[in-house]
Amino acid sequence: MKDDQLLRYSRHILLPEVDIEGQEAISRATVVVIGLGGLGSPVALYLAASGVGHLILVDDDQVEVSNLQRQVVHDSASVGLSKVESAAQRCQAVNPDVKISCYAQRADSEWLSQQDWLSSEDALNGQVSSDDGLTVIVDCSDNAAIRYAINEVCLQKCMPWVSGAAVALNGQVAVFDPREEGAPCYRCLYPALQDGALTCSENGILSPVVGIIGTTQVVEALRLIVGFGAPQHGYLRTYDAGTGDWQRWKVPARQTCSCQSDYCSG
């Protein structure tokens, strides 16, 4: 690690849970951020500031004025730009050392399955880390169909991922890690698409809620990369801004779910 990097990341390195080895693991990691809206804004910014080696940004939307109340990676000058372009400019300004790749693309199942974020040989061997570091997906899409698509590709490629959602005064975070034998997947939590889900456009969103949920997603991504703290995979945590309370539930693995037999933990 170069002298300027030692200075930039010195407050991380001072932490015994991170140290130089942990910061080097962060610098080797690839993190895919799907969705550059309210959740993706703090996620992308803090991952860039933390020194993630390769940041992959995925979103097919453009910045609108109504986004600016909560999507802090964008500003008034970004209106009309693609969200990935706007976010990449801001993240690169925060940390020029981070490699950033942009995809102005909807992350549907077909597109996700075609991405070579993990070699097929590594996937067959149940490995998500190598000399190039760990690959983690952080879902900030606020779209259930995309979450199911992420779930499938992460099961197939044995990749951990962090899911987040926020609407009105509430938010939730869950970590799924198919590398762990018997671990639940997203379908264990939500077996099928649910009708009548709340949306920010119809139900509103308190702007700091996305910051709380998004930064919690970053903590979980860094914990996966560095390996500190108690494992949080297989838990659903919910936040209520009306009371300020967090709650946590263990997500049981459904024995009839394909994640228990067809993929890398099977």
Tokens 């018997």 appear where? 182
Q: pLDDT, tens digit, for every residue of 233-247?
A: 899 999 999 999 999
Q: Is the pLDDT of residue 100 over 70?
A: yes
Cα 84 from Cα 78, distance rounded (Å): 11
188, pLDDT greater than 50:
yes
pLDDT > 70? residue 209: yes
The dotted CATH code for 3-260 is 3.40.50.720
Where do we find the tokens 């309210």?
38
Which residue type, as a one-letter code, is found at position 103? Y
pLDDT at 29: 96
- pLDDT value at residue 127: 46
Q: What is the pLDDT of residue 196?
A: 62
Predicted confidence at residue 126, as pLDDT, reads 44
**44: helix, strand or coil:** helix
Q: Work out the average pLDDT over 128-150.
A: 84
Nearest Cα residue to 91 out of 136, 137, 140, 55:
55
The per-residue pLDDT for 142 is: 83
CA atoms of 86 and 61, how far apart (whole Å): 11
Lookup: tokens for 167: 């609407």
| % of the chain surpassing 70 pLDDT | 91
Which of 62-78 are b and which e, b meaning 16 or more Cβ less than 10 Å from the residue's Cβ?
Answer: bbeeebeebbbbbeeeb
Please state the rounded mean pLDDT for residues 88-105.
97
CA 219 to CA 171: how far, in whole Å?
A: 15
| E strands present in 180-254 | 235-240, 245-250
What percent of the chain is predicted at pLDDT more than 90?
75
- Identify whether the C-beta of residue 77 lies closer than 8 Å to the C-beta of residue 31: no
Q: What is the CA radius of gyration of the chain?
A: 18
Q: What average pLDDT does this structure show over 1-5?
A: 92
Domain boundaries, the chain: 3-260
Q: Are strands 99-103 and 135-139 parallel, antiparallel or unpaired?
A: unpaired
